[in-house]
Amino acid sequence: MTTSRDRAKSEFVNDVQAATASAQKTRFTAPARITILADLMQIQCLRADNTELLTFTLPQGLVSTVHDLAQQLEVQPALHATTEPDQVGVEFESADDQDEFVTLFQMLSLQGHRAYSTPDLYGGSTTIDKDLCGEILRFLHATVQELHANGWKNLK
């Protein structure tokens, strides 16, 4: 029997795969990249119970997206190596700098510019399912790394 948690995860995975396939086909990846970045950052905050989290672990394949957005938003997060070769640490100087990214993500969501639906992190519960958060984070990391390895890095 499929649980609401399983359904939520399955729907999210299908939405992300459809969005990234469309991005690959049209060669216009910015909406998918930004939506994935938004989810990675916001889910890490929720999983840590800290909406003012300043340090994030992101797939190497999103470094150019972070750089482009930081330049546009006039913030300068520090990038540093992690223990995983396909990941990068991103650290914001202040909550205000991190808020610039979050505000952009919220604006895109409110304007209907997300590349896919927001994940249901509750999975049928009244509290956030932190295990589901971890699964979704791992899925998004793997998705970006696979796309990056297959040429997504050459598209904007």
**pTM score of the predicted model:** 0.91
Separation between Cα atoms, residue 33 and residue 147, nearest integer Å: 10
Residue 97 has pLDDT above 60, yes or no: yes
User: What's the confidence (pLDDT) of residue 134?
Assistant: 96
Considering 28-32, 35-39, 95-99, 126-130, the range whose residues carry the highest mean pLDDT is 35-39
The residue ranking higher by pLDDT, 128 or 51, is: 128
User: What's the confidence (pLDDT) of residue 19?
Assistant: 95
User: What's the confidence (pLDDT) of residue 13?
Assistant: 96
Residue 41 has pLDDT above 80, yes or no: yes
User: What's the confidence (pLDDT) of residue 151?
Assistant: 77
Structure-block tokens of residue 45: 């905050």
Q: Which residues contact residue 123 at a Cβ distance below 8 angstroms, ignoring those fewer than 6 apart?
A: 3, 4, 5, 8, 9, 129, 132
**DSSP per position, the chain:** ---HHHHHHHHHHHHHHHHHHHHHHHT--HHHHHHHHHHHHHHHHHHTT-TT--EEEEEGGGHHHHHHHHHHHT---EEEE-SSTTEEEEE-SSHHHHHHHHHHHHHHHHTT--SSPPP-SSTTSSS--HHHHHHHHHHHHHHHHHHHHTTGGG--
Residue 155 has pLDDT above 90, yes or no: no
Separation between Cα atoms, residue 63 and residue 134, nearest integer Å: 21
Separation between Cα atoms, residue 20 and residue 62, nearest integer Å: 14
Residue 11 has pLDDT above 60, yes or no: yes
Q: For residues 98 and 53, is the Cβ–Cβ distance under 8 A?
A: yes
Residue 144 has pLDDT above 90, yes or no: yes
121 pLDDT band, cuts 50/70/90, is: very high
153 pLDDT band, cuts 50/70/90, is: low
Residue 83 has pLDDT above 60, yes or no: yes
